[in-house]
Amino acid sequence: MLDHVAVVGASLAGLRTVEALRREGFEGRITVIGAEDSFPYDRPPLSKQFLVDDWAEEKLTLARNGVEELKAEWRLGVAAKSLDAEARRLTLADGSSVEADAIVLATGTRARRLPFGRDLEGVLELRNLADARRLRAALLDSPRVVVVGAGFIGMEVAASCRQKGVDVTVVEPLPAPLIRGLGATLGERVARRHREMGVVFRLGVGVDGFEGDGTVTGVQLSDGETLPADVVIVGVGATPATEWLDDAGLEIDNGLLCDATGSTGREGIFALGDCARWRNARYPERPRFEHWTSAVEQSDVIAKRIVHGAADDFSPIPYVWTDQFDLRIAIVGEIREGDEMHICFGSIDEDRFLALFGREGKLAAAVGFKRPRQLNGMRRRMAEGDGISFAEAIAAHAGS
């Protein structure tokens, strides 16, 4: 009989886990431990509406009806420092400890950092609300902005900064932006819209260092050029926030390794969200999906496992979206180098089309540019079966 559940991580995955536990009928104590001093907030708007539209922080709240109805104890502004998995006891940064019958680890990720420039004013990253506050304040002076890294965060920030009217240059060592998420062809298609809006790209070149005495003034590129900069936003990926668990006896390899219901293999210890890699029958390599939707769906599975002692294996197909300027792009599945691509419901020169991606004869992914109905239809079809023939998917949309 479980009387107490502790959730480490007071963001999306942690909050949705608390909500799911209550929906499943858990009436015991819930303690939520969060390193930040804020109640759970929505992170996707930090790179978009919070910067462009100057959203008030209250609009970021994630608790649908407030946190009071969840009847949880919130230990905010104090990080978990260690875990005794056998005793199911957490030690916190303030020296206190929390023991529980079940512990859910939802600590997310932290920004990957470059080995230089950390002591320079104006070198920023964007992972949390404090970062977004600093960036929004910096943009008030119309600075020259250099974005290092052309992944989803970097490209969203570049679009938002440009919409604020500042000069923006994006530096990326790969030949096109968003290659890992969209592939080279669609990545270049997004870059075209950015260029039309005034964003400058330096592709196929790396960053060797930053210039400045106390405050950043330039970005040194690997080809010898130096870009003038008043603000540098580093978006070069993220790593799971699991270093505090190194001595906990859990299996960690680019995230906490879990079964298909979120169990770490240690009794009463579960993990979800960006810090976890769940076994997935569709993806034997067990990738770590850093997606909003994935965290929400996993919370329901873990709540069932904790409350009822069992849950069906969860093998989702990843789903993620991004907004850049007027482009609304959604992706289902996972695109890899060498995948075949077929365009339907429009053309690649338009803002509205659906791209299908095939691998080894099967439909591997679909990308919708302003095609939500068609993309969601492909998402349902991909989730229903063990695999859809790529040829059949193309034939079904011939002429569309």
Residue 314 lies in a domain: no
Residue 351 lies in a domain: yes
Q: Indicate the SS3 state at residue 143.
A: coil
Q: Specify whether 122 is located in the same domain as 177.
A: yes
- Residue 198 phi, psi dihedral angles, 5° rounding: 105, 5
Residue 321 lies in a domain: no
For the cut 70, the answer to whether the pLDDT of residue 396 exceeds it is yes
User: Mean of the per-residue pLDDT values for the chain?
Assistant: 95
Distance of alpha carbon 206 from alpha carbon 203, whole angstroms: 8
For the cut 70, the answer to whether the pLDDT of residue 254 exceeds it is yes
Q: Specify whether 284 is located in the same domain as 390.
A: no
- Domain containing residue 170: 113-234
Q: State the pLDDT at residue 384.
A: 84
Residue 318 lies in a domain: no
Q: Specify whether 190 is located in the same domain as 245.
A: no
SS3 content of the chain, % helix, strand, coil (to 5): 30, 30, 40
How many residues in total does the chain contain?
Answer: 400
Q: Specify whether 117 is located in the same domain as 230.
A: yes
Contact between 184 and 175 under an 8 Å Cβ cutoff? The reply is yes
Give the pLDDT confidence of 312-327 residue by residue, as tens digits.
999 999 999 999 999 9
Total tally of structural domains belonging to the chain: 3
Q: Specify whether 106 is located in the same domain as 252.
A: yes
C-alpha distances (whole Å) from 238 to each of 82, 101, 110, 235 are 21, 31, 5, 8
Distance of alpha carbon 100 from alpha carbon 299, whole angstroms: 18
Residue 315 lies in a domain: no
User: pLDDT class for 64, splitting at 50, 70, 90?
Assistant: low
Contact between 51 and 157 under an 8 Å Cβ cutoff? The reply is yes
Where does a domain end: 209, 234, 259?
234
Q: Specify whether 99 is located in the same domain as 8.
A: yes
| Residue 251, token pair as written in the block | 């299996």
**Beta strands across the sheet bearing 319-324:** 319-324, 327-333, 362-369, 353-359, 340-344
**Beta strands across the sheet bearing 80-84:** 80-84, 89-92, 97-99
pTM of the full structure: 0.95
Residue 317 lies in a domain: no
Q: What percent of the chain has pLDDT over 70?
A: 100
* CATH number, residue 243: 3.50.50.60
Q: For 376-397, what is the mean pLDDT?
A: 88
Residue 180 lies in a domain: yes
Residue with tokens 């009806």: 65
Q: Specify whether 19 is located in the same domain as 95.
A: yes
For the cut 70, the answer to whether the pLDDT of residue 114 exceeds it is yes
What is the biggest distance separating any 2 CA atoms in the chain, rounded to whole angstroms?
A: 65
Where does a domain end: 210, 234, 258?
234
Give the pLDDT confidence of 174-204 residue by residue, as tens digits.
999 999 999 999 999 999 999 999 999 999 9
Contact between 13 and 240 under an 8 Å Cβ cutoff? The reply is no
Q: Specify whether 218 is located in the same domain as 247.
A: no
Q: Specify whether 224 is located in the same domain as 274.
A: no
Residue with tokens 């949390």: 128
Q: For 372-387, what is the mean pLDDT?
A: 88
Q: For 77-99, what is the mean pLDDT?
A: 98
For the cut 90, the answer to whether the pLDDT of residue 66 exceeds it is no
Q: For 132-146, what is the mean pLDDT?
A: 96
Give the pLDDT confidence of 306-363 residue by residue, as tens digits.
999 999 999 999 999 999 999 999 999 999 999 999 999 999 999 999 999 999 999 9
Give, for 16, the enclosing helix (H) or strand (E).
Answer: helix 12-23
Distance of alpha carbon 268 from alpha carbon 285, whole angstroms: 25
CA 275 to chain centre: 10
* CATH number, residue 334: 3.30.390.30
Residue 130 lies in a domain: yes
* Burial letters 365-380, b for 16+ CB under 10 A, else e: bbbbbbbeebbeebbe
Q: Specify whether 337 is located in the same domain as 385.
A: yes
Q: Specify whether 18 is located in the same domain as 86.
A: yes
Q: Specify whether 122 is located in the same domain as 221.
A: yes
Give the pLDDT confidence of 120-137 residue by residue, as tens digits.
999 999 999 999 999 999
User: pLDDT class for 376, splitting at 50, 70, 90?
Assistant: very high
Where does a domain end: 251, 274, 308?
308
